[in-house]
Amino acid sequence: MTQSNNNSGNFLTSLPGIITAVTGLVIALGGGGLIYYFTAAPLGTYQASCRNISVKDGILTATCRDRQGEEKESTLDFKQCRFGIENTNGKLECKSL
């Protein structure tokens, strides 16, 4: 039996994983600097009590339950959130330590 060392298919078979890994962050060059556009929802405990979660231009939008179970629309410019995001009584907020 002979073994083939043809690795030409490796890139194509790993392509779906590569695409999945970069879908959360799109980097564009603009004005001589890098601009980051987050397209995937950032991590945080808010995901357990919020729905309709979306991200556009660095703004997180979700419908979150408050302490009484009422749903409220909330938005957050999350680019400066260093420790995750949480739902505080129906409002999206940066988690602090």
Per the structure, the complete domain to which residue 39 belongs is given by 10-94
pTM over 0.85: no
User: Which residues have C-beta within 8 Å of that of residue 21, sequence separation ≥ 6?
Assistant: none
Between 29 and 53, the higher pLDDT residue: 53
C-beta of residue 58 within 8 angstroms of C-beta of residue 44: no
Tell me what pLDDT residue 84 has.
93
In a domain, 27, yes or no: yes
Task: Reply yes or no on whether the pLDDT at 92 is more than 80.
Answer: yes
CATH code of the domain in which 88 resides: 2.30.60
User: What domain count does the chain have?
Assistant: 1
In a domain, 4, yes or no: no
pLDDT in tens, 38-77: 568 898 999 999 999 999 988 999 999 999 999 999 999 9
